[in-house]
């Protein structure tokens, strides 16, 4: 079982199977000494999000199952999701001492070590993700770059996983270029216009076409491991810029939608893609933003360009603006969104691409994180070395969202109060 940090287009995201869970529950009740059944039951419980019961089942399996490696791997993944990366590291290291080629264990240990801020070890293990996912890395017939200077052609770097991951790791292109000599980036065609101005690029090609001649290749998210870098390294923020014409256009449109707004214009993103393996933990029901919408002087603006009719009706009832997106939002992904963000006072987002875009643009952004956040956000800090303009807002140990949104309501009210007293929004 992989602890999935996967993106919105995760090809390996796992979802619980209620029928399978019921069948396995009956199996362990009927044959309580069947270690394999307990192992499978624990795995299915973990997929359903019942981590305490999953751990109990897997510990039972550990005492009974003949295949202890599978059980240890799953226990490590559960420990990671429960917010105990140190225990996950210990369990998975024990397994890898005996089975050094266990891809799931190595990948999950990489996530545990990255969560703990052990960047060199973590990124080294993280390279096992392709084997763990059962996927072939991009451009498998090309030599893998190991950090050496390239004299016979450029380095071909390929984006991977989701759009947020691509935006996040663009920062490592300049040091890659310094080392390799020249860099081409292969990305989704829809991202080309947004990414073409990123520093450290000598060219951009769409994924899916035959690449031009190059000397070596590397997936984008392997760059920090090969280069020996961490969050403080790479291109300084902002390393993406909004197009001036888009920002001017959005400023005029917001003035039309909310004329004479002298308070805070706050862009909100409440959901990620439902195909993300852990989306149920990170996305927030739109209705929970009601307390923020009621703060006098705060105007909420939906950032999602694909607001559903149901969401639009709820936004209308709450007074949340749902402006029409730029017409090219599908073919020129997030170019218009960057322009909108440039004229907002604040962005409030769940852990999805909107958070990374705001951070890379250097815009003030508050990210709402589930109890066990993705590895890149660490365990407890309110700030992050990845993005200096970002504040991390974490769920409490209860794993509930309503208290978090009430906290944000108070934060917005304080900002408005400072504006009234001082004539500005403050830090």
Three-state SS annotation for 303-366 = CCCCCCHHHHHHHHHHCCECCCCCCCCCCCCCHHHHHHHHCCCEEEEECCHHHHHHHHHCCCEE
Domain ranges of the chain: 18-133, 155-227, 244-422
Q: Say if CB 165 and CB 221 are below 8 A apart.
A: yes
Q: Say if CB 184 and CB 212 are below 8 A apart.
A: yes
What span, in angstroms and rounded, lies between the C-alpha atoms of 160 and 12? Answer: 13
At 312, give phi and psi (nearest 5°): -60, -40
Q: Does domain 155-227 fall into CATH 3.40.50?
A: yes
Residues of the chain with pLDDT under 50: 5-16, 425-427
Contact partners, residue 72, CB within 8 Å, separation at least 6: 62, 91, 92, 94, 95, 105
Could you tell me how many helices (H) and strands (E) the chain has, helices first? 19, 9
pLDDT computed for residue 420 by the predictor: 77
Helices 244-257/335-342 angle, 10° precision: 60
Measured on CA atoms in the order 146, 113, 79, 281, is the torsion positive or negative?
negative
Q: Say if CB 34 and CB 64 are below 8 A apart.
A: yes
Measured on CA atoms in the order 406, 373, 270, 302, is the torsion positive or negative?
positive
Fold equal for 155-227 and 244-422: yes
DSSP calls for 29-41: HH-TT-HHHHHHH
* Cis geometry, peptide bond prior to residue 238 (ω within 30 degrees of 0): yes
Q: Say if CB 292 and CB 286 are below 8 A apart.
A: no
Domain covering 18-133 in this structure, CATH number: 1.25.40.10
pLDDT computed for residue 278 by the predictor: 76
pLDDT computed for residue 48 by the predictor: 84
Q: Say if CB 255 and CB 247 are below 8 A apart.
A: no
pLDDT computed for residue 8 by the predictor: 31
What span, in angstroms and rounded, lies between the C-alpha atoms of 75 and 93? Answer: 12
pLDDT computed for residue 262 by the predictor: 75
pLDDT computed for residue 2 by the predictor: 61
pLDDT computed for residue 305 by the predictor: 96
Q: Say if CB 301 and CB 317 are below 8 A apart.
A: no
Alpha carbon of 105 to those of 2, 73, 125, 247, 253: distances in Å?
A: 8, 5, 9, 46, 50
Superfamily of the domain at 244-422: Glycogen Phosphorylase B; (3.40.50.2000)
What span, in angstroms and rounded, lies between the C-alpha atoms of 424 and 225? Answer: 42
Alpha carbon of 218 to those of 113, 146, 157, 241, 323: distances in Å?
A: 22, 9, 5, 25, 39
Q: Say if CB 55 and CB 82 are below 8 A apart.
A: yes
At 268, give phi and psi (nearest 5°): -125, 140
What span, in angstroms and rounded, lies between the C-alpha atoms of 187 and 376? Answer: 22
pLDDT computed for residue 223 by the predictor: 98
The residue ranges of DSSP E strands in 220-303, in sequence order, are: 264-269, 298-302
């Amino acid at each position: 079982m992989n602890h999935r940090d996967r993106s919105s287009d995760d090809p390996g995201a796992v979802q619980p199977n209620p029928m399978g869970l019921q069948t396995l529950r009956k199996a362990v009740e009927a044959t309580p000494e069947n270690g394999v059944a307990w192992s499978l039951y624990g795995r299915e419980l973990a997929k359903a999000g019942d981590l305490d019961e999953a751990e109990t089942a897997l510990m039972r399996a550990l005492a009974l199952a003949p295949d202890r490696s599978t059980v240890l791997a799953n226990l490590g993944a559960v420990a990671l999701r429960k917010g105990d990366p140190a225990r996950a590291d210990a369990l998975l290291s024990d397994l890898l001492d005996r089975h050094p080629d266990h891809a799931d264990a190595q990948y999950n240990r990489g996530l545990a070590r990255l969560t703990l801020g052990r960047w060199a070890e973590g990124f080294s293990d993280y390279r096992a993700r392709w084997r763990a996912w059962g996927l072939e890395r991009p451009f498998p017939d090309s030599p893998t770059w190991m950090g050496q200077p390239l004299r016979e052609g450029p380095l071909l770097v390929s984006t991977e996983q989701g759009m947020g991951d691509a935006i996040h790791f663009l920062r490592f292109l300049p040091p890659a270029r310094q080392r390799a000599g020249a860099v081409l980036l292969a990305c989704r065609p829809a991202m080309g216009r947004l990414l073409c101005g990123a520093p450290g690029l000598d060219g951009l090609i769409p994924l899916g076409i035959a690449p031009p001649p190059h000397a070596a290749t590397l997936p984008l998210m392997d760059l920090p491991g090969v280069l020996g870098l961490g969050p403080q390294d790479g291109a300084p923020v902002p390393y993406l810029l909004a197009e001036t014409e888009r920002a001017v256009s959005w400023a005029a449109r917001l003035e039309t939608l909310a004329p004479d707004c002298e308070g805070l214009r706050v862009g909100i993103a409440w959901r990620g893609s439902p195909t993300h393996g852990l989306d149920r933990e990170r996305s927030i029901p739109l209705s929970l933003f009601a307390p923020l919408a009621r703060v006098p002087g705060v105007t909420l603006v939906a950032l999602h360009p694909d607001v559903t009719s149901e969401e639009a009706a709820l936004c209308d009832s709450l007074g949340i603006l749902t402006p029409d997106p730029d017409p090219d939002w599908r073919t020129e992904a997030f170019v218009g969104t960057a322009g909108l963000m440039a004229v907002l006072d604040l962005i409030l987002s769940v852990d999805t691409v909107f958070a990374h875009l705001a951070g890379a643009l250097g815009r003030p952004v508050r990210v709402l994180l589930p109890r066990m956040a993705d590895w890149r956000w660490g365990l407890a800090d309110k700030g992050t070395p990845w993005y200096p303009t970002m504040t991390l807002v974490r769920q409490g140990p209860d794993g509930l969202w309503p208290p978090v949104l009430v906290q944000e309501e108070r934060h917005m009210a304080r900002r408005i109060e400072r504006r009234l007293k001082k004539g500005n929004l403050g830090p």
